[in-house]
């Protein structure tokens, strides 16, 4: 979303979709402007996939505070805030197993960030991980280099331009006509962890067709109607989650596919509240699309009633 642009009303408020930076794409090709902005920028430091934090929020650096070793890291332009202050991310690749305590994952710090910080952090993590994974040209295999403020990688040999790509995936809150929801449990998840159904959009497939296919594949449900709820970037590493609510016509005959989904459960609001309270059911984290969909369906008391543990996939 561009700074000062109007808010678009959607049925679902998604935590990682918040943003207050103008990405200012017109400045990416002006290296002199990028260099000037760097000198007065607020800089996010990203070590691998961990953000430098202080007090439960991002710690913004200045160009003068960067150490000699940090100056070897790559920098990518994120955009401008409403006052015109530029934001960059300084990214250092690493394979260390244990990070210093001041570096935190977006998975843990994300729920405490304000809209400007979360938008900048999501952009920073997504673009940094894309650069890490595309050091070589997909056409000729030669080395690529960052250009256009980090928005492009150019091949040294064939001069091909490579642009960041996002993998779209649908995520679906399955319901029946009695307004119960159906949640599923994947084999790879921690015990008692349940969530909504999801899957990647395949080549040549629409979002709507993906909803029909994924619901049929994972639980055997026949969708009779669906409603778009919103979308959210999911930079773990490069997804865009497109959220739908879908009512199925055969709730009595659904079953887990036995491959990806090993268990399914129908829940009304009282069932969900009691199972969360007893720890018989663990919900997805609050920054996820799945949790937002479940809480929106539950209603205004969700944050008060659904206070059990939350879990990640890994």
The span from the CA of 154 to the CA of 135, in Å, is 10
215-244 b/e with 16+ CB inside 10 Å = b? Answer: beebbebebeebebbbbbbbbeebbbbbbb
Residue 107 in tokens: 């998975």
Is 117 in contact with 22 (CB distance < 8 Å)?
no
Is domain 15-133 in CATH 3.90.79, yes or no? yes
Place of tokens 């699309």: 289
pLDDT at 314: 44
- Taking Cα atoms as reference points, which of 88, 85, 87, 129 lies closest to residue 106? 129
- Would you state the pLDDT for residue 10? 61
Q: What is the pLDDT of residue 313?
A: 58
Q: What is the DSSP letter of 236?
A: T
Q: Kindly list the domain boundaries of the chain, sorted by start residue.
A: 15-133, 139-165, 167-266
Extract the tokens encoding 212. Answer: 């029909």
Q: Whole-angstrom Cα distance, residue 220 to residue 253?
A: 8
Which residue carries 């369906």 as its tokens?
297
Hey, what CATH topology would domain 167-266 get? Nucleoside Triphosphate Pyrophosphohydrolase (3.90.79)
Report the first-to-last Cα separation within the chain, whole angstroms: 30
pLDDT along the chain (314 residues), means of 10: 50 87 97 97 96 94 86 93 97 89 93 94 97 95 97 98 96 98 95 96 98 98 96 95 98 96 98 96 94 96 87 59
- Asked if residue 142 lies in contact with residue 157, where contact means CB atoms within 8 angstroms, the answer is yes
Query: What pLDDT was estimated at residue 2?
Result: 45
Q: Residue 243 in contact with residue 228, Cβ under 8 Å?
A: yes
How many Cα neighbours within 13 Å face the side chain of 54?
A: 5
Question: Any idea what DSSP says for residue 251?
Answer: G
- pLDDT the model gives residue 67: 82
How many Å apart are CA 6 and CA 79, to the nearest integer? 18
What is the per-residue pLDDT for 99?
92
Domains 15-133 and 167-266 share a fold: yes
């Amino acid at each position: 979303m561009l700074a000062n642009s109007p808010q678009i009303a959607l049925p679902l408020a998604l935590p990682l979709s918040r943003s207050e930076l103008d990405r200012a794409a017109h400045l990416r090709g002006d290296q002199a402007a990028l260099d000037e902005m760097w000198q007065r920028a607020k800089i996010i430091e990203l070590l691998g996939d961990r953000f430098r934090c202080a007090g439960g929020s991002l710690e913004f650096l200045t160009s003068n505070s960067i150490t000699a070793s940090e100056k070897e890291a790559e920098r990518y332009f994120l955009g401008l805030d409403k006052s015109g202050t530029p934001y960059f991310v300084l990214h250092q690749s690493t394979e260390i197993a244990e990070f210093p305590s001041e570096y935190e994952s977006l998975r843990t710090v994300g729920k405490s960030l304000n809209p400007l910080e979360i938008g900048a952090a999501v952009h920073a993590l997504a673009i940094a991980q894309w650069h890490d994974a595309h050091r070589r040209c997909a056409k000729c295999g030669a080395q690529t280099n960052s250009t256009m403020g980090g928005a492009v990688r150019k091949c040294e040999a064939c001069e091909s331009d490579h642009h960041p790509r996002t993998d779209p995936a649908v995520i679906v809150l399955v319901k029946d006509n009695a307004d119960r929801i159906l949640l599923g449990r994947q084999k790879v998840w921690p015990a008692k962890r349940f969530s909504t159904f999801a899957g990647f959009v395949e080549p040549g497939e629409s979002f709507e067709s993906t909803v029909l296919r994924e619901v049929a594949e994972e639980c055997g449900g026949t969708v009779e109607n669906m409603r778009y709820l919103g979308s959210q970037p999911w930079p773990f590493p490069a997804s865009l989650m497109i959220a739908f609510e879908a009512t199925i016509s055969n709730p009595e005959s659904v079953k887990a596919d036995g491959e990806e989904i090993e268990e399914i459960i129908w829940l009304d609001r009282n069932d969900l509240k009691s199972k969360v309270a007893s720890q018989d059911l663990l919900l997805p984290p609050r920054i996820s699309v799945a949790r937002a969909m479940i809480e929106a369906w539950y209603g205004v008391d969700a944050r008060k009633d659904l206070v059990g543990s939350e879990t990640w996939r890994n």
